Structure 1
Amino acid sequence: MALHFDGQELADRKSLLLAEMQTAKLDAMLLFAQESMYWLTGYDTFGFCFFQCMIVEKTGEVTLLTRSADLRQARHTSNVETIVIWEDRANANPARELKELLTERDLLGGRIGVEYDTHGLTAKNGRLLDDALNTFAKLDDASQIVPRLRAIKSPAEIAYVKKAAELADNALDAAIPLIKAGADESRILAAMQGAIFEGGGDYPGNEFIIGSGEDALLCRYKSGRRVLEDNDQITLEWAGVYRHYHAAMMRTALTGKPTDRHLELYEAAKAALAACEEAMRPGNTFGDVFAAHAQAMADADLIRHRLNACGYSLGAHFTPCWMDMPMFFAANPEPIQPNMTLFAHMIIMDSETQTAMTLGQTYLTQEGDPVNLSRHTLDLIVG
């Protein structure tokens, strides 16, 4: 069995979940988020793109309903003892097989929480689920129960996050010497991802972002590579990943002589990140952090060039995205608590002058000021 956490750690997590279920008066929960399954049992797969469900009963019993391709995966990577296979076949309806399992567990007429808000439950499968269970039990949307538990990291998780942060730094170390005129983006990307793999890391929850020239103004991955030119710009967003735990970073680097606009936007990004750090402490909310970002951008007359969010929680996450909840956006009432790992990104995209500037890094919250998990400074990178 390949578990990344000891039995006591996983038992403690189950106790936290059962307590939340008791508060919500749930007889069972249906977990569809791969992140929830991994956090609770260690179960590690990408088979969640098909229908699979982890049943957690208020008694503490855990059952996994999945496909045959994931049977050995579940046995090897998790502490789940009861694994039931639904059969791939024409016109298969695994929701009906889930209903049979719930019937066997005497949950008819019970109150069942469902993780609806996840990529692990497609709209089609969600409809099949509701059709199968809408007269069987009272269904509650319990999508936020496990994410709120996952947002607070245990000491064992923090150790993995710190390793991920080290790998993120290693990736930047590999990239910096290559950022110069004549360099191919492909080599930079290969060096960064290679440094993480060589350090024992994992694939990220989404692709690294890399774009130069006008593509530096994009904050999503796109296919296609480019060769850097003199007096060019390149935006990089990446994450070190260890045991699926992410520590993200973001930088816009330059070749040749920075323009005055680049320098202006860099100073604004650095000031905004400092304002976010000041707000990123217990007693404040995620909305307070965004407000600090928004005010700093307003002070620099950059409202039209900023985004409507400036970061988010990080943790163990699976494709198609490494972003976790809660997020830094306007009026988000979620409280900042100790032992959260939070990524703050300052993204300024001036389409009028085709100028990009970004700064971002991952923090560990504590009482008082947050801890920056990167060993790198925020100095502007010029190759």
Structure 2
Amino acid sequence: MTDLNIHFSREEFAHRQYQVRESLEAQSLDGALLFKIEDMYWLTGYDSDGFSIFGCMFIGTGGQLIHLARPADLGNAAYSSICEDVRIAPDSEKTSRAGQIKEMLTSSGMQGKKVGIQVDTMGLTPRLFLQIQEELGDWCDLIVIPDFIRELRLVKSPQELSYMRKAGEIMDITLNKAIEATFAGAFEGDIYASFYDSLFQLDADLPAHIPPLGSGKSALNLRYTTGRKHVLENDQVTLELGVAYRHYHAACMCVVLTGPKINERHLKMHETSVIALDAVQSILRPGTTVGEIYDTYKGTLENNDEKDAVLTVCGYTMGAAWPPTWMEQPMIYEGNTLVLEENMSFFTHMILNDRGNGLSMAVAEQAIITNGAPEIITHVPREPIIKH
């Protein structure tokens, strides 16, 4: 098997698998069924969006590592994964996914053993989970496991950080292209086109969800909505953009204002957003809790008369992600006790929506946690972006 299409060394994959098996043993488990594509990629390099239909991996403490994949995903497995034991899960009325999983576990000697199952993932539907429970019954001890592999992935390796920095470099370039394409009279579709054109030319991956981009009323939408329109004079255009490199994400967010008239309220909202982002970034250091980041964000907005704009989340961690979202836990919300460590990465967004007046403003950047000041890997202007 060639390593041509693998983006990490075999030694790094082996260390990750060792960490997972060590954790399984600590939980008194003999193995685990995995359905989260981000974890499969981290463990083996497996690169496919086929998880949206079906895909499963088994990792055992005895050294077992098995892909269970539909025939349509066999090419992706051979192209991208170091896992050499790939089982075919055909689509047929004559067999069930739960039965195919039991057959895989049987060959791994799991009858009567403690088998973990990963449920905090979009790769496992509630229906399939219930079918697996029914199929395995008393055949083995099926145990729902915590999302511990995601926790292992929080602290990034040097290679992962290099991909995130590359994503950040590309993000800065594509943001500038999108800003250049934003002006009164521009079609929102053309702004999107400038972003995606630059993204592909720079060897980036599509982001895991469609970046929200909107003008006028839709500038307040924090999720993608269908229907393009033209930017008007005296308008607002929200750009929440993200790119990925080898699936590792970097994002940013800002609002472009068109003239000739600029609302003073917009300028005050921008000033507060910048103050809040600077305050949050100043405490992105090892030892700070995620909850303390949120408290800083909330307190800054309240101290600048923006209490009504406070959201319940002001960011989240970033890493390798697949659709439908680039957002990963932990999110930055009140009371979150997770402690920052060196080589984690967080996207922090200072979003102010004045729904009463229909105004939106935001600044957001991504950072890598270091042993000192954070390394900012995406950058937005600190001055208001005004296009006359």
TM-score range, shorter chain: over 0.9
Do residues 128 (structure 1) and 135 (structure 2) align?
Answer: no
Aligned counterpart, 1:351: 355
The total of aligned residue pairs comes to 383
Unaligned runs of 5+ in 2: none
The answer to whether the 8 A contact 1:166-1:240 is kept is no
* Amino acid paired to 1:84: R
Select which of 178, 181, 186 maps to 1:175.
Answer: 178
**Closer/same/farther in 2, CA of residues 143 and 48 from structure 1, 3 Å limit:** farther
Question: Is the Cα–Cα contact under 8 Å of residues 170 and 204 in structure 2 kept in the other structure?
Answer: yes
Q: Deviations over 1:160-184 (max 9, x none)?
A: 0011001111111111222211111
Asked whether the equivalents of residues 285 and 335 of structure 1 are also in contact (C-alpha less than 8 Å), the reply is yes
The equivalent residue for 1:287 is 291
Match of 1:19 in 2: 22
Cα contact 1:63–1:82 (8 A) shared by 2 = yes
Pairing 1:57–2:60 present: yes
SS in 2 for 1:309: coil
CA distance in 1, matches of 2:273, 2:372: 22
Q: How does 1:79-118 map to 2 (within 5 A)?
A: 79-90=82-93, 92-118=95-121
TM-score (norm 2): 0.96
The equivalent residue for 1:305 is 309
1:268-312 deviation line (CA, Å, top 9, x unaligned): 111111121122211111111111111111112222222110000
Q: Which moved more, 1:368-377 or 1:231-240?
A: 368-377
Which moves more between the two structures, 276-285 or 151-160?
A: 276-285
The Cα of 1:314 is off from its aligned counterpart by 0.5
Any residues of structure 2 matched to 1:71-220 within 5 Å, and which? 71-90=74-93, 92-220=95-223
SS in 2 for 1:356: strand
1:249 equivalent in structure 2: 252
Query: Judging changes above 3 Å, is the alpha-carbon distance between structure 1 residues 121 and 314 closer, same or farther for their aligned structure 2 residues?
Result: same
**1:328 aligns to 2:335 (yes or no):** no
Q: Distance in 1 between matches of 2:233 and 2:94?
A: 58
CA contact (8 A) 2:365 2:380 kept: no
Question: Structure 1 CA distance, aligned partners of 2:176 and 2:186?
Answer: 16
Decide which moves more: 129-138 or 26-35.
129-138
Q: Gaps (5+ residues) in structure 1?
A: none
Structure 1 residue 239 displacement after superposition: 0.9
Whether contact under 8 Å (1:151, 1:325) holds in the other structure is: no
- In 2, Cα distance between equivalents of 1:139 and 1:381: 55
In structure 2, what residue type is equivalent to 1:201? A
Deviation at 1:90, TM superposition (A): 2.1
| Structure 1 outlier segments of 4+, above 4 Å | none
Q: CA deviation at 1:375?
A: 4.8
1:31 aligned residue (28, 34, 37): 34
Q: Structure 1 length as normaliser, TM-score?
A: 0.97
Per-residue deviation, 1:376: 4.5
Distance of 1:28 and 1:302 partners within structure 2? 50
Could you report, residue by residue, the CA deviation over 1:240-261 in whole angstroms, capped at 9, with x for unpaired residues? 2100110010111111132111
The Cα of 1:379 is off from its aligned counterpart by 2.4
C-alpha distance in 1 between matches for 2:110 and 2:325: 34
Q: For residues 78 and 40 of structure 2, what CA distance do their matches in structure 1 show?
A: 13
Distance in 1, matches of 2:351 and 2:364, equals 8
Shift of 1:91: 5.8
Give, as a single letter, the amino acid of the residue that structure 1 aligns with 2:182: I
User: What's the CA shift for 1:40?
Assistant: 0.4
CA contact (8 A) 1:287 1:329 kept: yes
Q: Say whether the 8 Å CA contact 2:364–2:380 is kept in structure 1.
A: no
The amino acid that maps onto 1:351 is R
Cα displacement (A) at 1:18: 1.6
Q: What residue identity is the alignment partner of 1:282?
A: P
CA distance in 1, matches of 2:322, 2:146: 16
Distance 1:149 1:201 in 2: 25
Task: Please tell me the root mean square deviation across aligned C-alpha atoms, in Å.
Answer: 1.3
Q: Percent identity?
A: 35
